[in-house]
Amino acid sequence: MSFAQQLKQEIYEARPMEREEQIAQAYGLLLFSKNFSKQALSIQTEHEQTARLFCDYIIDLIGIKTSILYSEFEKKNGSVIYTAVVEADEDRINILHFFGHSPDEVNLRINMQNIRSEKSLKAFISGAYLVCGNITDPRKNYHLEFVTPHMHLCKDLITLISSVLDTPKLTQRRSAYIAYIKESEAIEDIMTYMGATNCSLQLMNVKIYKDVRNKVNRVTNCETANIEKTVAAAAAQLEDINYIFDTRGIDFLSDDLRELAELRADNPEMSLRELGEALSTPLTRSGVNHRLKRLSKIADELRQKKSEKRR
């Protein structure tokens, strides 16, 4: 089961028992379904329990039974689409009247008479999400959205959500209007608000895992960069030391520089700190670095003299 399916399943299992909340959830479910008008009243979803809840609410709350046509259709990819249609004109009009809507409405708006308390607001938002909501797998991205073809309905939903939670953003995708949330904490809040606490905790765990993984990657990248820098520096130091040895011999150097040059030549993998600790008279990291710069300067001067002789 995908994360999106888990979320809808958890919302479905947390459905309210009190009539006022059931009316609010049924209202959100029907209002944001595929069709909610005198001409057509239907739902189409990949979540079986949502389609059955659509039918149950119409039967239990409104008393309409005979004109609901329920069906299942399997797509080529193996997924199943569940649909429920209210076929009788009279029943569709009765459902609209039950929720305070006129059969002749042009622009759908939310009728606040069906949302009388914060509990009913939670139920309404959860009902709307069941039928028009979607969420991206948090392992890939943080994105939760409500999709509807009705602009005013989408704006009304944003206003309702913003009265209790962070305000969703509004965008248009072809002929649909989308209220969406991309901040992980805001997504956690709305999932918890809709009754899906387990999914909210799951998203938190994904965030923790991502944060730890990113920190490990940053540390690893930093360590890798430091190693590469150390290797490159050691290679340049060895080149200078070998050049001095080849052109002037080991005795050309003073005792302190000769000891460090021999130590570096024998231990190219050592860090500056390790080199300093291995000297007969230990040196700090900066002290070792200073002597190595002196060796580099000597090598550059020898190269310069050799270059001048050739001219």
Q: Considering the entire predicted model, what is its pTM?
A: 0.72
- pLDDT tens readout for residues 266-305: 888 888 888 889 888 888 989 988 999 998 999 888 888 8
* Ranges of CATH 3.10.28.10 domains, the chain: 3-195
Question: Is residue 183 scored above 80 in pLDDT?
Answer: yes
Contact 130, 29 (CB under 8 A): yes
Say which residue the tokens 């005198």 belong to: 38
- How many angstroms separate the CA atoms of 114 and 25, rounded? 9
- Using DSSP's 3-state secondary structure scheme, residue 177 falls into strand
Percent of the chain beyond pLDDT 70?
A: 99
Helices (H), 99-143: 118-132
Question: Is residue 223 scored above 80 in pLDDT?
Answer: no
- How many angstroms separate the CA atoms of 305 and 62, rounded? 102
Do the strands 133-135 and 169-173 form a parallel or antiparallel pair, or are they unpaired? unpaired
- How many angstroms separate the CA atoms of 154 and 131, rounded? 14
CATH of domain 3-195: 3.10.28.10
- How many angstroms separate the CA atoms of 170 and 246, rounded? 73
Work out the number of other CB atoms within 10 angstroms of the CB of residue 119: 14
Buried/exposed 264-298: b ≥16 CB within 10 Å, e otherwise? beeeeebbbeebbebeeeebeeebbeebbeebbeb
Using pLDDT thresholds of 50, 70 and 90, give the confidence band for residue 81.
very high
Question: Is residue 87 scored above 70 in pLDDT?
Answer: yes
- pLDDT tens readout for residues 231-248: 788 888 888 888 888 888
Amino acid in position 171: T
Using pLDDT thresholds of 50, 70 and 90, give the confidence band for residue 311.
low
- pLDDT tens readout for residues 245-259: 888 888 888 888 888
- How many angstroms separate the CA atoms of 278 and 136, rounded? 56
